Chain A
Amino acid sequence: MNHWSPTEEELHAYIDGRLAAERHEAVRHWLQAHPGEAARIEAWKRDAEALRAGWARDLEQAVPAALQPDRVRARLRRRRRDRLGVAAGFLLALGVGGMAGWQWRDARLASEQLPMADAVAAYRLFASDTGRTAGDIAPDALRTWLRTHFGAAGDVPDLGAQGFRLQSGRLLSTPEGAAAMLVYEDAEGARIGLYLRPRTPRNGTGERRDGRLLAQYWAEGDTAFALVGPATQARMREIAPLLRGG
């Protein structure tokens, strides 16, 4: 065995204690005959032990809840749903509504700062123009879509008792996810819009005049709502509390 010498891998395996007993002995003998090498290998071995000891404490630290698998999975699901919502909103707003989609986007970007300004912008685009009805989504498809994105909050309210009938629905997108504008019309052709979007910290409760329009807004769970219509529509004041109640 005089001319035998361990390979680099064998030396590392010796340090890490991974050699079979026979090999281990062979390397140990070789090191005894090579004091220079032996000093280096012993020092590396001590370092490896110190490293293990040094990093051992790290395992005692509590793992943040946000890293637990169920939480990570919930985050993934939410993100995927939002992405689908945004994609669907753009497709529908662009494909179905034609240029209205881009107008909507510009209007929303321009009026980002005011509470539920997007609701007012959506109303202006989709409800105040009495001529535009083409491309509205069928009521059944609308219900399914709203259910998917807003859960129980996505129930299409029946305002028949108040004299309003669901006239059309538009699917939109916001940076926070999908949004929808439900347009109701009464016998005289007056229109009010119920707007739904994902809640953000800025979505509180209140009301706001914007030109000739009145927006009443509130939030429930993860969804922010706004009822938008001409400020002259006195019935809106009665409808908003009804919607808010259930």
Chain B
Amino acid sequence: MTMDASDDARLSALLPRLRRFARSLAGDAADDIVQSALERALRRWDSRRDDDALQAWLFAIVYRQFATEHRRARRWQRVLELFGAEPVEPSPSPERIHEGQAMLAAFARLSPDQRALLLLVSVEGFSYREAADMLGLPIGTVMSRLSRAREKLRALGDAGTPPPRTLRVLK
């Protein structure tokens, strides 16, 4: 764990984006995920690749941390269901679902891997190759999943908000 002040500064500068990514996946549980991911990253600091890859490396760690937690939560949920508890679908917090944020509400209803992919590609601007590496998917799978994610987002968006109204000729 040999780090210097400039490492800290770069890591610090990336925190808002890493948190946003985690929030898009895990809503209110995001900070726990980021914290575990940072611990993991700092423990393996020396094993990271070159500096250019730092961002991608960190985003990948956040995603893997989320995936692990998500699997654990699902297993726990199945146990609870055996005892008759209602299934709870974790989703980004409802507070952000207000007027003007209909897109985020629709986004929140996508599956976690669809959210991850769209956020990395459309919001963060990572290349398809980078996104594929981060999510551990072949590039072809990324393309087909991206199509499905966009299709579903459109469908959910259509259901939630009316499309922009254009003039219509009424005879």
Q: Which residues from chain A sit less than 8 Å from chain B, CB to CB?
A: 8-9, 12-13, 15-16, 18, 40, 43-44, 47-48, 50-55, 58-59, 61, 63-64, 66-70, 72-73, 75-76
Contacts and interface: CB of A to CB of B under 8 A. Distances in A.
B68 interface: no
Given A59-B17, A64-B31, A73-B42, A51 B144 contact: no
9 contacts: A8-B144, A16-B121, A51-B104, A51-B122, A54-B107, A61-B16, A67-B19, A73-B1, A73-B3
4 residue pairs, one from A and one from B, having the closest CB atoms: A50-B103, A48-B122, A58-B20, A54-B104
A54 B101 contact: yes
Chain B interface secondary structure, helix, strand, loop or mixed? helix
A15 B24 CA distance: 21
B123 A69 contact: no
Contact of B16 (A15, A44, A63, A72): A63
B119 interface: yes
A70 B157 CA distance: 42
Interface stretch (B46-54, B71-79, B83-91, B145-153): B145-153
Given A47-B153, A50-B103, A54-B104, A16 B122 contact: yes
Interface string B1-38: 10100011001100111011001100000010011001
B61 interface: no
Most buried by A among B31, B38, B119, B127: B38
Chain A interface secondary structure, helix, strand, loop or mixed? helix
Contact of B35 (A47, A55, A67): A67
A50 B128 CA distance: 20
B73 to A, nearest CB: 21
A76 B41 CA distance: 11
B118 interface: yes
B38 A69 contact: yes
B43 A12 contact: no
A55 B104 contact: yes
A69 B37 CA distance: 11
A13 to B, nearest CB: 8
A12 B147 contact: yes
A72 B31 CA distance: 12
B143 interface: yes
A49 to B, nearest CB: 9
Given A75-B39, A76-B39, A63 B20 contact: no
Given A12-B146, A51-B118, A63 B19 contact: yes
Contact of B42 (A8, A9, A66, A69): A69
A131 B136 CA distance: 63
Given A50-B103, A51-B118, A51-B122, A72 B42 contact: yes
